[in-house]
Amino acid sequence: MKDIFVTDLENVKKFYGVIDRINHKLTGVERMGLIFSDPGYGKTRTALHYAANNGAVMIRTKKLMTGRWLLEEIVEELGASPAWKSKDLFGQAVHLLQSRPRTIILDEIDYFTSDSKVIETMRDLHDIARCPMLFIGMGQADKKLMRYPHLYDRFVDIVKFEKLDQHDVQEMASQVSEVRFEEEAVEKMTTESQGRIREIIKLMHRAEASARANKSKTVSAKDIK
């Protein structure tokens, strides 16, 4: 298998659509977005690829994370040493984002959906620094964040990632695999994986190994196990 990121997937296209809509320069228009879904549909994988290639600040939130801890990680990602006082730390984050604008991506936002202080701190940072900010969460993240209307109203785009369909899986197989997958094999892989990227990659890897062992250049449905 080739270690490449497949950009021609429907969920990836959705992600970049959200990025385009929050990275505008219109005065008075909010710059926040939300992407959510059940696990395994490529949210984090896509965000990491975008951040690595576009200079975005990506933070994976943690269960024990406080607002200060989150601000410290943002400041460190922006290349500075965090200020000691919370007031100065917030001002530092604002200054860094204003002087060198960056998109902030917060993954696993579900950890914060019951912590109003962290949620409101991120809203304040967005409002004052005018920085694009993307939240990424699990299947109920949109509903959980509705309890914060002042935040929720700032989402210019809310997108749900869906299961990968047969076209997506075919696209992955054609770009990632070093052997050819027959149509029936792609169909079976789509069904067996339930449209989850991690499962698709596992099935593809095993099928490739089987094909190499049998000195075959194609993968059939019976090779998907």
DSSP 18: H
What pLDDT is attached to residue 157? 95
What pLDDT is attached to residue 25? 82
Cα angle 181, 183, 184; round to 5: 100
CA 126: distance to chain centroid?
19
Write the pLDDT tens digit of every residue in 99-136: 999 999 999 999 998 889 999 999 999 999 999 999 99
Q: Band the pLDDT of 213: cuts 50, 70, 90.
A: confident
Gap between the Cα atoms of 59 and 147, Å rounded = 23
**Please, where are the H alpha helices in 27-101?**
43-54, 67-77, 86-99
Out of 1.10.10.10, 3.40.50.300, 2.40.30.20, 3.40.50.10420, the CATH code matching 10-160 is 3.40.50.300
Cα angle 225, 218, 13; round to 5: 80
Q: Where are the domains of the chain?
A: 10-160, 166-215
pTM of the model: 0.93
What mean pLDDT comes out for the span 163-188? 94
Report the chain's mean pLDDT, rounded to a whole number.
Answer: 94
Residue 190 tokens, joined? 């789509």
> Is residue 37 within 8 Å of residue 161, measured between CB atoms?
yes
CA 125: distance to chain centroid?
20
